[in-house]
Structure 1
Amino acid sequence: MSDVAVLAGVSHQTVSRVLNDHPSVRPETRERVLAAIAELGYRRNSAARALVTRRSGALGVVATSSAHHGPASTLLGLERAAREVGYFLSVATIDRFDAGTLRGALDHFLDQAVEGIAVIAPQVDVADALAEFAAPVPVVTVTSGGVVAGAGAGRVVSVGVDQRAGARDATRHLLDLGHREVLHLAGPQDWFDARERLAGWREADAGAPDPVVVDWEAESGYREGLRLVDAGLPSAVLAANDQVALGLLRAFWERGVRVPDDVSVVGFDDVAGSAFFVPPLTTVRQDFPALGRSAIDALVRVIGGEEVAPTLLPASLVVRGSSGVPR
């Protein structure tokens, strides 16, 4: 800053005022200082600034290494929302969800003087590990599983999408069309989203036998679709997600089963391209940009000392051509 002041012919204090957008600096002086900064290649020392102001302008995000639609879209939503309010993200992806691995990621962020940490916690063991770590900075968990007790000494808040209500609405949509039973191909039960969708299906009183637990992949939907054709076709299926629904549609097409004439199929997530499945997929949409904004807003408010309640954003049913009246 002293070098900039000499080159621009101003005081050290004037340079400081320009950097902090003080209104008392004349426009021509500001331009001269900015030109000197550009000529010298000046960069703020963020670490030193954080020591003085106790504000680093950085947030940490712990994410799973999963490439599944939900966690990946959540991370994008967080990054965009953080930029909108002047924060930058430092991201750590982890493969193992034990307390030691998570502690290492959180300790790394604390060494960087982050002001708060967001944890994308789609799986039960991520939340369990977080509950064992008392973070000295505010933490927001992005999960549909509710508050993670014990973490952050009360400075933890949870934000998520209401998966249960979304699955309940999708099931009731099929029942309202006249289907007496709705089979649920449920996602892996160590995921909060899968548990909540299963709970919503049950709350809708779908009338079907026990759910069939699959994974999140199209291949499992394909295999299950072939099995259903051979074992006895239901009139309606609520799939764990859109990829499982895509596998179902492929299996039914190969076996000459018409959707929705012979069987209705509903997915979950409204992934890009689901409107162009054959037929276009009825599904449940999650607003990931809104989820990111809500999570970052909650984290910033907790950083500012506010009390923030857990938040569940609504999911919305998108009705397309894959659901219809029963045969």
Structure 2
Amino acid sequence: MADVARHAGVSSQTVSRVANGLTNVDDATRERVLSSMRAVGYRPNGAARALKYGRFHTIGVIMFTLETLGNVRTLDAIATEAAAADYTVTLMPVPDPTMGAVSGAYRRLSEQAVDGIIIIFEASLLDRVEITLPPGLPVVVIDSNAGSGFAVVDTDQALGARQATEHLLGLGHRQVWHIAGPTSSFSAGHRAESWRATLEQAGITPPPLVHGDWTTESGHRVALELAGRDDVTAIFAANDQMALGAMKALHELGRDIPNQVSVVGFDDMDESRAFWPPLTTVRQNFREVGRIAMERLLAQIDDPDAPSETTLIPTELVVRESSGPPPAR
């Protein structure tokens, strides 16, 4: 800093103000100092600044998998928002969905000097056991129930499933079959519960639930039996990939979509509009989930007493050509 001050002809205090982004330096002087920093190869010492101000400008993200569309898009949004706030992101994958594994990841991140942690925790484990983590770091949880004391941000899973089911009932279908996600998934469970409740509110006894594992292959496998039944005229799949598998099964058995069977998915992945026919689906705003999660975490970093609340991001039904009225009887 002394070298920069001599090169720019200013005091070391002025260099410090510019290096720390303070505004009490006029524009001409700031530009001269920045030019001198480039000339002498000066870079602020992040570790020293962290010790001085108590901030590392790094957040940790704990997540189970990068294989699902929602997790990838949410992580992308978090990274974008973090960069805009001058934060970096340290990713900690946890392949084993247990509380012990999460606690271990939390401890490792704590040792790496992060200011806060976002947990993308899809597994329904948190429906049964509250998170137990050492105190000291702000935490925001995405895609799960976290009990009291933690800020939670999630898609409104129940709203999305209700929108899909009501859409099919509104077209005149007397029954809606559901291909659910894995039983370990929090979001899959809430979508299935909402589908069931929507049918019951309409005076319809829900048919047996069938489960896939989010993949196209599982959607195809479980839909082969449904596709062969004449009384199946509407299928709501818990994600677009399983919807694609169901559509493949229907095509293979000669069932016309949507004239004989309507199909609705969940996610609105980029490829959904290119399915044949283009897929009616529920759009999740993953970018907003990531943005709000980062906003909530920064609020806790700035104020440890900031309220911990649950924020649900609304879904949107996107109607395309894969859904229509049931065949005339």
> Structure 1 length as normaliser, TM-score?
0.92
Counterpart for residue 240 of structure 1: 238
- CA separation of 1:23/1:74 partners in 2, compared to 1, >3 Å: closer, same or farther? closer
Counterparts in 2 of 1:92-111, with a 5 A limit?
Answer: 92-111=92-111
Cα contact 2:130–2:146 (8 A) shared by 1: no
Deviation, structure 1 residue 316: 1.0
Counterpart for residue 194 of structure 1: 188
Q: Does 1:185 align with 2:179?
A: yes
Deviation, structure 1 residue 49: 0.9
Moved more, 106-115 or 127-136: 127-136
Deviation, structure 1 residue 128: 6.6
Q: What's the Cα RMSD here?
A: 1.9
Counterpart for residue 146 of structure 2: 147
Cα contact 1:187–1:215 (8 A) shared by 2: yes
Deviation, structure 1 residue 146: 2.8
**In structure 2, distance between residues paired with 1:245 and 1:8:** 64
Deviation, structure 1 residue 43: 1.8
Question: Which of 149, 160, 165 is 2:159 aligned to?
Answer: 165
Counterpart for residue 276 of structure 1: 274
Counterpart for residue 119 of structure 1: 119
Deviation, structure 1 residue 228: 2.1
Moved more, 89-98 or 267-276: 89-98
Moved more, 86-95 or 19-28: 19-28
Counterparts in 2 of 1:286-301, with a 5 A limit?
Answer: 286-301=284-299
Cα contact 1:98–1:126 (8 A) shared by 2: no
Cα contact 2:126–2:145 (8 A) shared by 1: no
Q: Which runs of 4+ in 1 moved over 6 A?
A: 126-130
* Aligned-partner SS, 2:267: coil
What is the letter of the counterpart of residue 20 of structure 1? N
1:164-195 deviations in whole A, cap 9, x for unaligned? 11101110111111111101111101111100
Cα contact 1:50–1:113 (8 A) shared by 2: no
Deviation, structure 1 residue 126: 6.4
Counterpart for residue 326 of structure 1: 326
**In structure 1, distance between residues paired with 2:136 and 2:231:** 54
Q: How many pairs does the alignment contain?
A: 321
Cα contact 1:180–1:207 (8 A) shared by 2: no
Deviation, structure 1 residue 207: 3.3
Deviation, structure 1 residue 288: 0.9
Q: Mind listing any 5+ residue stretches in structure 1 that lack a counterpart? A: none
Deviation, structure 1 residue 233: 4.9
**In structure 1, distance between residues paired with 2:31 and 2:159:** 55
- CA separation of 1:65/1:229 partners in 2, compared to 1, >3 Å: closer, same or farther? closer
Counterpart for residue 221 of structure 1: 219
Counterpart for residue 7 of structure 1: 7
What is the letter of the counterpart of residue 315 of structure 2? A
What is the letter of the counterpart of residue 9 of structure 2? G
1:223-264 deviations in whole A, cap 9, x for unaligned? 223222335550101112100010111111122110011111
What is the letter of the counterpart of residue 292 of structure 1? G
Counterpart for residue 209 of structure 2: 211
Counterpart for residue 174 of structure 1: 168
- CA separation of 1:23/1:193 partners in 2, compared to 1, >3 Å: closer, same or farther? closer
**In structure 1, distance between residues paired with 2:285 and 2:3:** 48
Counterparts in 2 of 1:13-28, with a 5 A limit?
Answer: 13-28=13-28
1:92-118 deviations in whole A, cap 9, x for unaligned? 112112333323321222223221110
- CA separation of 1:69/1:21 partners in 2, compared to 1, >3 Å: closer, same or farther? closer
Cα contact 2:59–2:88 (8 A) shared by 1: yes
What is the letter of the counterpart of residue 311 of structure 1? T
1:38-68 deviations in whole A, cap 9, x for unaligned? 1232222212211110122111111223311
> Structure 2 length as normaliser, TM-score?
0.91
Moved more, 156-165 or 201-210: 201-210
- CA separation of 1:321/1:300 partners in 2, compared to 1, >3 Å: closer, same or farther? same
